[in-house]
Amino acid sequence: MSDFISQVTNALIQVIDPELRKPITELDMVGNVSGSVDDFSVEIKLTVSHCPQAVQIESQVMDALTKEFPQSKAKVIMGVMTKEELDSLKEKLRGGRPPKSNPFGVGSTTQVFLIGSGKGGVGKSSLTVNLAVELANQGFDVGVLDADIFGFSIPAQLGTTDRPTRLDDMILPPIAFGVKVISIGMFLPSNEPVAWRGPMLHKAVEQFLTEVHWGNLDYLLIDMPPGTGDVAISVGQLLPNARSIVVTTPQQASSYVAQRSGSSGHKQGQGIFGVIENMSGLPMPDGSVLELFGTGGGQEVARALSEYSGTEVNLLAQVPISVSLREGSDSGSPLVASNRTDPAAIELIKIAKLLGEAKLPPSNRTLKVDIA
């Protein structure tokens, strides 16, 4: 390799593919370099012709070349990988794993947390999004899987309308706030409802785990549907080493239902990491707290699950009612990224720190599911 081509290659190392989050040089996306140092062209080979990040990649390449060769006339030629080149890239991305395999099985170093609740409306999706963004802020590689197939809301809360890129049997998830995210809502037109029975739900969750290229994640957070239905059973079968985080409100009726969520996961071999009490109270201007939904629900869930599981289950935090949290969820701007001094954000950052310090659970658990 000539010194000039080496110089071009070194300049392009800093260009990161927005979807794969690796240098384009490492992904073999840099093709033919022709010409001389004064007047040259560089071919960039996209994974697919309809790559949604094509304009961004071309702009970054041009910026890198202009910076390295300020006096030269540089041209970027955008092309597409051949089938053989794409197959080679997919094999490299899988790291030796066979196609459509579950990367989060026994031996995985990814910490998987299921954010669940006994009933809807307790804010588990908002908490999932903010915890994921804060973990990414801490420097971790994070993914969010929206398993709430009927009530998907994660893409909107992360403010992304991007569609996944499909490379044959591999799906590249969009990235928002540094978090890889996948949701059934990304494959549907507008706000179309989903009306599927159990087998279709299982297939969707399985595809999200096995066909999406998650890369080497530190954390995978799964926004679970409320209750203990088909999706919960499927996730239990596919991710026996995951741990549950149960979300409730202070209201006793909510806490009573939330206990079922944690105990259901425990039956399927999943550990219970802890309980989050959301909407814990409304801070007032005079410094007092208005307990709109009562008190004690979170502590009661933690106590009941400790008794049920035979291990101590802690109340991780009590997240107060926050207008800013609600506004951030509605606008696609997570609270931890927009207003870190908000009382709710402070609690969310505290929980994310606990997750960041968590150790991997014991592996090789035996999954036993009793089917009536």
Looking at residue 328, its pLDDT comes to: 96
* pLDDT confidence bin for 194, thresholds 50/70/90: confident
Q: Which CATH superfamily is domain 111-356 in?
A: P-loop containing nucleotide triphosphate hydrolases (3.40.50.300)
Per-position DSSP letters for 170-206, written without gaps between them: EEEPPEETTEEEEEGGGGSSTT------HHHHHHHHH
Determine the Cα–Cα distance for residues 298 and 282; give it in Å rounded to an integer. Answer: 16
Average pLDDT estimate for 33-58: 92
Determine the Cα–Cα distance for residues 330 and 233; give it in Å rounded to an integer. Answer: 30
Torsion angle of the four alpha carbons 253, 280, 180, 113, in this order, in degrees rounded to the nearest 10: -60
Q: What is the pTM of this model?
A: 0.88
By three-state DSSP, how is residue 78 classified? Answer: strand
Looking at residue 192, its pLDDT comes to: 73
Determine the Cα–Cα distance for residues 320 and 329; give it in Å rounded to an integer. Answer: 15
Average pLDDT estimate for 171-200: 87
| Parts of the chain belonging to CATH 3.40.50.300 | 111-356
Torsion angle of the four alpha carbons 6, 9, 14, 20, in this order, in degrees rounded to the nearest 10: -140
Identify which has the larger pLDDT, 365 or 81. Answer: 81
pLDDT of residue 322 exceeding 60:
yes
Pair 50, 86: CB distance under 8 Å: no
Identify which has the larger pLDDT, 259 or 225. Answer: 225
Looking at residue 259, its pLDDT comes to: 78
Number of DSSP helices (H) and strands (E) in the chain, helices first: 12, 15
**Digit-coded pLDDT (tens) for 103-162:** 998 789 999 999 998 888 899 999 999 999 999 999 999 999 999 988 889 999 999 999
Torsion angle of the four alpha carbons 358, 207, 141, 272, in this order, in degrees rounded to the nearest 10: -10
| Parts of the chain belonging to CATH 3.30.300.130 | 3-94
Looking at residue 233, its pLDDT comes to: 82
Average pLDDT, the chain: 90
Determine the Cα–Cα distance for residues 340 and 334; give it in Å rounded to an integer. Answer: 10
Looking at residue 254, its pLDDT comes to: 78
CB atoms within 10 A of CB 22: 14
pLDDT of residue 219 exceeding 90:
yes
Looking at residue 54, its pLDDT comes to: 92
Distance of CA 69 to the CA centre of its chain: 38
* pLDDT confidence bin for 269, thresholds 50/70/90: confident
Looking at residue 252, its pLDDT comes to: 80
Tally the C-alpha atoms within 13 A of residue 81's C-alpha that lie toward its C-beta: 19
Say which amino acid occupies 273.
F
Pair 297, 255: CB distance under 8 Å: yes
The torsion angles phi and psi of 166, rounded to 5 degrees, stand at -100, 125
The CATH class of 3-94 is alpha beta
Looking at residue 24, its pLDDT comes to: 96
Looking at residue 365, its pLDDT comes to: 46
Looking at residue 1, its pLDDT comes to: 54
Determine the Cα–Cα distance for residues 214 and 230; give it in Å rounded to an integer. Answer: 24
